[in-house]
Amino acid sequence: MSTPRLPSIPLIAGLTTLIHVDWHFARPAHHRLSLGWPWHWTVCAAGFAVAGWFVVRRWSRVPWRAAALNVAVAILAAQLIEPIVTTAYYEHTLSYAVEADRWAAFGQCLTTGLLAMAIVMVSTRRRRG
């Protein structure tokens, strides 16, 4: 059985959406579509854990490479492409304006998410042999 091709569009779309939605969970509630939830990172931990399980199941021979590639593309889409598209749509200008609060939420999301992903990948891989 051959290794599936890298990257996975559904996995990248899911992680990109997760990272973006995390910003809406974390962003102060006075913004539209925001919750100001201090525990926003728990959603990232759960989502990245599921992604880790999926990666080990799909790419059992090269799970770490697959995880790195898919997560890197999702980060690029969520933290670079999405803010540019949002600014272009709402402000009719092509610029990259990401505030410090968004970077802080992103750091918390990524820290807990990657840790959860690694734990699931290691424990799932051990059980599989």
Question: pLDDT per residue over 69-92, tens digit each?
Answer: 999 999 999 999 988 888 888 888
Residues 6+ apart with CB under 8 A from 89: none
| Closest-CA residue to 51 (of 93, 16, 2) | 16
User: CA–CA separation, 13 vs 73, rounded Å?
Assistant: 9
Q: What pTM was computed for the model?
A: 0.88
H helices of the chain, where? 9-26, 41-58, 63-76, 82-91, 100-128
Q: What is the pLDDT of residue 120?
A: 97
> Phi-psi region for residue 20, left (φ > 0), alpha (ψ -120 to 50) or beta?
alpha
Listing DSSP states for 53-68 in one string gives HHHHHH-SSSHHHHHH
